[in-house]
Amino acid sequence: MLIRFDENTQVFHLQGKTFSYIMQLKDGLLLHLYWGKKIPVGHHEDLLFLPWEGASFDSAHSRWPLEVPTQEKGYYGQMALRMQNAGGDDVVSLRYKAHRIVDGKPCLAGLPASYVEQETDAKTLEIDLEDSVTQLCVTLRYTVFAEQDVLARSMLVKNGSEDTVVLRDAQTAVRLPADRYEILHLKGGWARERHAKRVSMPEGNFAVKSRRGASGHENNPFIALVHPDTTENGGDVYAMTHVYSGSFSASVDVGIDRAPYMMMGLCSDVFSWQLQPGDVFQAPETLLCYAMDGLNGLSHRMHSFIRKCICRGYWRDRARPILLNNWEATYFDFNTEKLLKIAALGAEIGCELFVLDDGWFGKRNTDNCSLGDWVVNEEKLPGGLKLLAEKINAMGLKMGLWFEPEMVSPDSDLYRAHPDWCLHVDGRERTQARQQLILDVGREEVQQHIIDSLSQVLENAPIGYVKWDMNRNMMEGFSAVLPAERKLESQHRYMLGLYHVLETITARFPEVLFESCSGGGGRFDCGILHYMPQTWTSDDTDAAERVKIQYGTSLIYPCSSMGAHVSAVPNHQTGRTTPFNTRCNVAMGGNFGFELDLNKLSEEDLQCARDAVAAVKKWRHVMQQGEYSRLQNPFLSDGDAAWQYTDGQTVIVGIYRALAQPNASPRCVKLVGLEEEALYTDREHQITCSGGALMNMGLPVPYAWKDHDSWVYVFEKQ
Ligand code: DGJ
């Protein structure tokens, strides 16, 4: 880790473990020069600038690689920073003013951000830029980490003038040299989140975004540029992710010189921010990750970073409990007796946590009422949550509880008392989804109401886990209390309010494990993982679908952040029947759990469940904290997939075959990252091989005699 400024060449050189990021000051402008494989400090001055000089129709500056591209100096591409100045124009001319190199990693006021525990674990460069006409001041922050291989970037905007101005866009931008690239992003929808998509980089603009008020099922705040020959294990990857859970935009803008600008930031369709004289605006953090060793290289760096520098608290490094959730077992149709019967068998096979999902409060027997009324329904649960939780605890299980705190049902006491507390536009219909509306969490009284009502429940019953759901996105997402000129601040104010609530609640109940959810994986991002270290990956629990969803999710997010449950067949989302052992093997790709009535299983499947629980307990330190690599991509092989975890000593390999084939050709799965000369033994399958053989010849895949077959191997290094 190093940050160096050379007075002579005016070059800033930031070094992570394996990357360099270089900028230079020229005529007061901050220019981006390089992001890629680590290079030595100094002795590259003769290379600076050459690519950007030469004749052009536009002004000579038009092809300068501005670190913060704005409307100035003949630049015509996408802007990273856009203002509406007091005079109505949007010209912004940023010039260098000062810089500082400090130890550690400053917090970002009110926002989630990466962090370090010791000042010596990181170094931060702050560069102040200023527009001398409008007195707009911008502070860029860049942090490099001693033990991690990611660059954290953010931008603070200050109105230093005597006038009111409006911030219209605040993005992190990085310009790469012109080359052949493909864009990798995560596309999806409800129940098919984060499918990995790779498309040729167009000449023009490519964007994925959300204006839903949540990062969303449809697009994830992640984008990467890769070369066409980049594979899982080789080639360059330039990736960006957002430490933010609301609407976002991630784009690649290719200028006339074919050099792409990658950008990530707030979604300007639903954002603007008024800055009074002296006001500051902190834009969310963006994480930049370069890997020269392919997509697995990207994942190794991001998994480690998210586990250590994004997730926090008591559960960050602890083994995650094996849970049993009643949602797909009962939906709303439960009572104490039914729940205890399911929990008892869960306890018997070794589960550690019983989660009571939706339907325990108000008069909620279906999804048309009671959100906001967080008071137990004693008709269903006589004696209340305390009694139920004590009975669950007596079985040796912790008790978990579902909430959807940001929502309100029109049919609820809360809505009857405060009909104005939801996001809406006066005089217009309040569009409902799942028969619910969204509370205006940007308002302090709403934040306090959520904090008080959840605290009341958590203080009065021994609850060890909370599933924090959010089942709809914003429409008419405007705060009733903001004036017209500030209406477009509503969504970001909501996020700041939500982060305040989450910070307060998680600090007040530090040993409670929080899992986020948004109709499955509709808010799976680094912002939410800062408060809740795991997310329910998808409402789709079908093993065949999950292979794809977990593949895409694993590009960025660690297995310890992905909830993965074994459910009943025919599957409730697809109607598909997969073998029980495959459902277990696939759920071992994340935080393992069950979401079915175990009492309905055959003896054989119940034994398989017992074995899976024992295996997860034995190996979860490898699966949750070890290094995860993808060995076979289901999007390129008709759904077949393979993956591997290792902590250096134990190597766990999962292989999944989608469809059985007659006369199938023999196949091998090549392991990665082993020691060539060391011997590895899988006792159960009686295989002993060198690391070299497993990585180059590969592990032969057994013949599949049925659809959706799967196998797990556990090798120990001798
Ligand atoms: C959506 C979640 O993803 C499900 O797991 C379940 O909690 C339901 N909401 C409950 O309404």
If you write DSSP's letter for every residue of 587-646 in order, what string do you get? Answer: HTTSEEEEES-GGGS-HHHHHHHHHHHHHHHHHHHHHHHSEEEEEE-TTTTTT-EEEEEE
* Ligand 1 center to 423 CA (angstroms): 22
539 is catalytic: yes
Is residue 488 classed as helix, strand or coil in its secondary structure? helix
Q: Is the CB of 519 under 6 A from ligand 1?
A: yes
Atom 11 in ligand 1: which residue has the minimum CA distance? Answer: 358
Residue among 169, 357, 440, 539 flagged as catalytic: 539
So what's the pLDDT on residue 491?
98
* Ligand 1 center to 366 CA (angstroms): 12
**Locus of tokens 């129709």:** 57
Residue 95 tokens, joined: 């010039």
Using CA atoms, how far apart are residues 310 and 525, in angstroms rounded to an integer?
10
611 is catalytic: no
Is residue 343 classed as helix, strand or coil in its secondary structure? helix
**Can you give the three-state secondary structure of 654-697, one letter per residue?**
EEEECCCCCCCCCCEECCCCCCCCCEEEECCCCEEEEHHHHHHC
| Cα angle, residue 538 at apex, residues 384 and 507 outer, rounded to 5° | 55
Using CA atoms, how far apart are residues 602 and 196, in angstroms rounded to an integer?
36
Q: Residue 231 pairs with which residues in a beta bridge?
A: none
**Ligand 1 atom closest to 539 (CA):** 3
Q: Work out the number of other CB atoms within 10 angstroms of the CB of residue 238.
A: 23
**Ligand 1 atom closest to 517 (CA):** 3
Which residues in the chain land under pLDDT 50? none
* Ligand 1 center to 327 CA (angstroms): 7
| pLDDT tens digits, one per residue of 371-414 | 999 999 999 999 999 999 999 999 999 999 999 999 999 999 99
Enumerate domains of the chain plus CATH numbers: 2-309 (2.70.98.60), 323-536 (3.20.20.70), 641-717 (2.60.40.1180)
So what's the pLDDT on residue 52?
55
Using CA atoms, how far apart are residues 35 and 58, in angstroms rounded to an integer?
26
So what's the pLDDT on residue 47?
75
* Ligand 1 center to 464 CA (angstroms): 19
The closest of 599, 558, 606 to 580, measured between CA atoms, is 606
Residue among 357, 469, 597, 640 flagged as catalytic: 469
